[in-house]
């Protein structure tokens, strides 16, 4: 059979159960598969995807914890972000990475204004631009919304039931991944923010002392 003919052969189904392997070897193969797929992926990989790599009786969450246990001495870890798992370098080695990269910072920088509006969307979603203006106490421009959308942090949500059916805005998986959240449930407790004077659902943010000095209608 020629090389070209071999390439046309359908791929063999992945043997998930591996019944011919001893238990320890079987578990090791499952761990290697899971780590390899996460390593190769450019986005966080969900548990439901990883479950297709292992046997039906394998507890995928426990398997991932075993992998993380083995990685404790390594400069990277498997972290749960944006509804899945991804390899992330440990913070202690960020300086080494910056040194090799020539000090270039590839993180997305946000102005105070952008961060404030993004925080408001995260806690109030789905939320319209008019509602954002009410919450912040300043006019939130379309340009500012476009900037957050271009950065990948927000996207359009369901149309509001209010007259005119205005667009609403919600955060994205990019937002979760960038800030290291597995789900929106990992956002800081809003009640703690209120206790710290950083958020007040009954008061425009512009009226909270020190929360913002810039005009929300313009990017800084």
How long is the chain? 220
Domains of the chain: 16-100 (1.10.10.10), 112-207 (1.10.10.10)
**Segments of the chain assigned E as strands:** 76-81, 84-89, 127-128, 154-156, 168-171
CA 123-125-129 angle, to 5 degrees, is 110
**Does residue 5 carry a pLDDT above 60?**
no
pLDDT tens profile 66-107: 999 999 998 888 888 888 998 888 888 877 877 776 655 555
Task: Determine what percent of the chain is predicted with pLDDT higher than 70.
Answer: 77
Kindly state the average pLDDT of the residues 135-154.
Answer: 88
Q: Does residue 74 contact residue 175 with C-beta atoms inside 8 Å? A: no
Kindly state the average pLDDT of the residues 30-51.
Answer: 92
pLDDT tens profile 108-128: 578 778 888 888 898 888 999
């Amino acid at each position: 059979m020629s090389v070209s003919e071999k390439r046309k052969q359908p791929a063999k189904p992945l043997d998930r159960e591996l019944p011919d392997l001893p238990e320890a070897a079987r578990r090791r193969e499952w761990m290697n598969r899971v780590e390899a797929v996460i390593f190769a992926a450019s986005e966080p990989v969900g548990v439901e995807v990883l479950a297709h790599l292992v046997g039906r009786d394998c507890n995928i969450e426990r398997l991932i914890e075993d992998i993380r246990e083995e990685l404790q001495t390594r400069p990277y870890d498997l972290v749960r972000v944006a509804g899945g798992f991804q390899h992330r370098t440990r913070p202690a080695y960020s300086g080494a990475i910056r040194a090799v990269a020539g000090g270039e910072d590839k993180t997305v920088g946000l102005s105070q204004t952008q961060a404030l509006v993004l925080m408001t969307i995260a806690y109030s979603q789905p939320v319209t631009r008019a509602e954002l203006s009410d919450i912040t106490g300043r006019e939130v421009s379309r340009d500012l919304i476009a900037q957050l959308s271009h950065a990948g942090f927000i996207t359009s949500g369901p149309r509001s039931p209010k007259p005119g059916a205005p667009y609403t805005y919600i955060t994205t998986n990019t937002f979760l991944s960038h800030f290291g959240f597995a789900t929106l449930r990992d956002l800081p407790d809003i009640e703690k923010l209120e206790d710290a004077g950083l958020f007040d659902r009954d008061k425009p943010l512009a009226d909270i002392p020190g929360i913002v000095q810039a005009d929300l209608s313009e990017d800084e």
